[in-house]
Amino acid sequence: MTERTGSDGGDGEATAVVSVGDGWEGGGEDGAGDGRRPEDGAAKGVVAAFGQTLKTLRLREGLDRGEFGNRIGYSASTVASFEQGRRIPSPRTIERADEVLQAGGLLCLWKEEVERAQYPVFFQGMATLEKEAIELVSYSMPVINGLLQTEEYMRGLLGMRRPPLEEETIEQRVAARLARQDIFDRRPAPFLSFVLDESILRRPYGGKAALRGQLEHLLLVGQKRNVEIQVMPLDREDNAGVNGPFTVVTRKDGKKFVYAEARGIGALQTDAEQGVLAAALYGIIRSQALSPRESTEFIERLLGSL
């Protein structure tokens, strides 16, 4: 099965919003992580319902927004944004609010739905798969995979969109993209492998300082024992990735899923045969790229030339 969707999953920069479907089951302490805003109709409905529940419980406890905000570490205006469904609280904030309001776990029941609402509908399936992955492999071009992007690099990419994105939309997408990077610190640790086309390591999206920071970040992430980063050099005569970027996610049950983007259209493939073929293709690409050690040395040389 293939669901075609407008793509903004963190790698490409597209706009259309179509539900992935297929029956998927799906913050910051200072509020920076809670600047997320729901972009889609279904997500807005979930967040609005949560906000009404939060308000009802707050009023039941006889707390005004200022007092309640002090207890959970936010301003009264931020509490109002939560209650009105204009901002999405982090899971930790929901847990804290549940405790303060003596909700007995009622608010915590909303955590997964509210967390999923931070992503556009078309990417919610892939975001869920990333959380369930025991293995994720990805070939990247013409931009670095969203899981590897620094915040400055993200802002550089989003800032190039035409027509320009609203600032609040950029903030929402940056926060959601950063939240996905929890995958690197999850236990048990999934195996993560990335092959990056050399061209994207040379493009100064966001400026040279942003590129330098991005290359340094790749070196740091590549030191993790469950992560391998490889570079596909421009001078390679053979590159099985010529048809474009894609990601293969493997779940604990062994099922593989393929996510690909091209010209603003994303496709999440759930067909078992496509998953096996994509995984085999990725193996060929890895064999054609520089080894992880050679790739580290290559990135270090690029850094030295900036």
What integer pLDDT is reported at residue 41 of this predicted model?
59
Among 4-18, 154-168, 275-289, which is the least confidently predicted range? Answer: 4-18
Highest-scoring range by mean pLDDT, 177-186, 266-275, 293-302:
293-302
Q: How far is CA 95 from the centre of its chain?
A: 22
Per-residue pLDDT tens digits for 29-81? 223 334 455 555 566 788 889 999 999 999 999 999 999 999 999 999 989 98
**C-alpha to C-alpha distances, 67 to 50, 54, 62, 182, 186, nearest whole angstrom:** 20, 14, 10, 32, 35
- ∠295-264-26 over CA atoms, to 5°? 80
**DSSP secondary structure of 212-263:** HHHHHHHHHHTTSTTEEEEEE-TT-S--TTTT--EEEEEETTS-EEEEEEET
Q: Which of 178-187, 192-201, 248-257 has the lowest mean pLDDT?
A: 178-187
Q: Is the pLDDT of residue 136 over 90?
A: yes
**Confidence grade of residue 223 (pLDDT, cut at 50, 70, 90):** very high
Q: What pLDDT, on a 0 to 100 scale, did the predictor assign at position 218?
A: 98
Q: Residue 213 CB: number of other CB atoms within 10 A?
A: 16
CB 55 within 8 A of CB 142: no
Distance CA 69, CA 238 (A): 58
**Average model confidence (pLDDT) across the chain:** 85
Output 260 or 168, whichever has higher pLDDT.
260
| Torsion, Cα of 42, 46, 52, 57 (10° steps) | 180
Looking up tokens 């604990």 gives 252
> Over 50: is that where the pLDDT of 301 sits?
yes
Instruction: Note if the pTM is more than 0.95.
Output: no
CA distance 297 to 305: 13
Confidence of residue 247 (pLDDT cuts 50, 70, 90): very high
Average pLDDT for 229-238: 97
Q: Mean pLDDT across the stretch 216-229?
A: 98
Please state, in angstroms and rounded to a whole number, the distance separating the CA atoms of residues 272 and 183.
24
Triad 25, 26, 29: Cα angle to 5°: 160
pLDDT: is 293 or 8 the higher one?
293
| pLDDT, tens digit, 9 for 90 and up, residues 73-127 | 999 998 998 998 878 888 889 999 999 999 999 999 998 888 888 776 667 778 8
Give the C-alpha separation, 264 to 295, whole Å. 29
Residue 250 forms beta bridges with which residues? 135, 256
pLDDT of residue 21: 32
